[in-house]
């Protein structure tokens, strides 16, 4: 079994924010792979499906970013999962928009959602770092991540 967690903040006001790219990623996985409808469970929204023969759960915590670990921990403990079965999708300021990197374990890099998970479960889970770019100055980071992506320009 796998648990794929998208980090973000619940509610329509946050839906298109850069900080919610984790939610966007698991929404797309659910859509493309025909997962079940989302239901409320583990202080979040949960969808079920399969990758090949592997049962897979998708989770979007409703606890807000800074308390994401509470929701993830409930799901992990209920299903008696090892941390190696958990894959967390999250925004990463240090990667250019559109860049994706994966890693197992590591530090939270100042990301409050990862910090919350690390504090409750430890850091030995998989991470999918989704690049959102950096605004250029540290004092602009908070408003940058809590704003929508710039509109896409169509070419051709």
Over residues 13-69, the pLDDT tens digits come to 999 999 999 999 999 999 999 999 999 999 999 999 998 899 999 999 999 999 999
- Domain span at residue 43 reads 2-145
Total tally of structural domains belonging to the chain? 1
pLDDT of residue 51: 87
Asked whether 131 and 92 are in contact (CB, 8 A), the reply is: yes
Active-site residue 19, yes or no?
yes
153 domain residue, yes or no:
no
| Active-site option among 19, 90, 111, 126 | 19
58 domain residue, yes or no:
yes
pLDDT of residue 155: 63
- Which range has the worst mean pLDDT, 31-35, 98-102, 133-137? 133-137
Alpha helix stretches (DSSP H) within 42-156: 68-78, 112-121, 141-145
Q: Does the pLDDT at position 156 exceed 70?
A: no
pLDDT of residue 52: 85
pLDDT tier at 1 (50, 70, 90 boundaries)? very high
- Domain CATH for 65: 3.40.50.1470
**pLDDT averaged over the chain?**
94
- The candidate with the shortest Cα–Cα distance to 90, out of 82, 102, 81, 79, is 102
150 domain residue, yes or no:
no
154 domain residue, yes or no:
no
114 domain residue, yes or no:
yes
151 domain residue, yes or no:
no
155 domain residue, yes or no:
no
- The candidate with the shortest Cα–Cα distance to 72, out of 111, 113, 106, is 113
Q: How many other C-beta atoms lie within 10 A of the C-beta of residue 101?
A: 12
Q: Does the pLDDT at position 153 exceed 70?
A: no
């Amino acid at each position: 079994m796998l648990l794929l967690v998208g980090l973000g903040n619940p509610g329509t006001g946050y839906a298109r924010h850069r900080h919610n790219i984790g939610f966007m990623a698991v929404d797309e996985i659910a859509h493309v792979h025909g997962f079940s409808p989302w239901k409320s469970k583990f202080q979040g929204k949960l969808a079920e499906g399969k990758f090949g023969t592997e049962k897979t759960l998708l989770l979007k915590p409703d606890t807000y970013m800074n308390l994401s670990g509470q929701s993830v921990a409930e799901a992990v403990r209920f299903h008696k999962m090892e941390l190696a079965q958990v894959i967390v999708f999250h925004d990463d300021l240090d990667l250019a928009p559109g860049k994706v990197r994966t890693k197992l374990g590591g530090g939270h890099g100042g990301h409050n959602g990862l910090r919350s998970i690390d504090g409750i479960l430890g850091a030995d889970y998989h991470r999918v770092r989704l690049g959102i770019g950096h605004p250029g100055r540290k004092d602009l980071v908070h408003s940058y991540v809590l704003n929508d992506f710039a509109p896409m320009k169509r070419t051709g």
